[in-house]
Amino acid sequence: MKARHLNREVRRTRHLSAWIKVEGRAHCECQVLDISTHGAKVIVASAVPDRFELAFSEGGQHRVCEVVWRRAKMLGVKFIF
């Protein structure tokens, strides 16, 4: 049996502050632990919906996200737009 190799996208470790926005309003602050072109790993303090906007504190960038996995207060999200 051949070993199966998964090609993972390069992730960059970051410790960025961001805000989770739901329906255009700030919902809660969060920390981005790592980020790639197509997604991020985020730590949140409260429950968040499956789809939200991630607004980075530095640079003013916003990304629409969809939750791919959840582990306690840690989320894996993919960027939609």
Domain boundaries, the chain: 12-79
Per-residue pLDDT in tens (0 to 9) along the chain, 81 residues: 455 545 656 667 778 999 999 999 999 999 999 999 999 999 999 999 999 999 998 888 999 999 999 999 999 999 997
How far CA 28 is from CA of 5, 9, 37, in Å, comes to: 37, 28, 23
Q: What is the pLDDT of residue 6?
A: 52
* Confidence (pTM): 0.80
Please report the pLDDT score of residue 26 as a whole number.
Answer: 94
- Give pLDDT, residue 10: 67
The CATH number of domain 12-79 is 2.40.10.220:
yes
Torsion over CA of 33, 36, 41 and 43, rounded to 10 degrees? Answer: 50
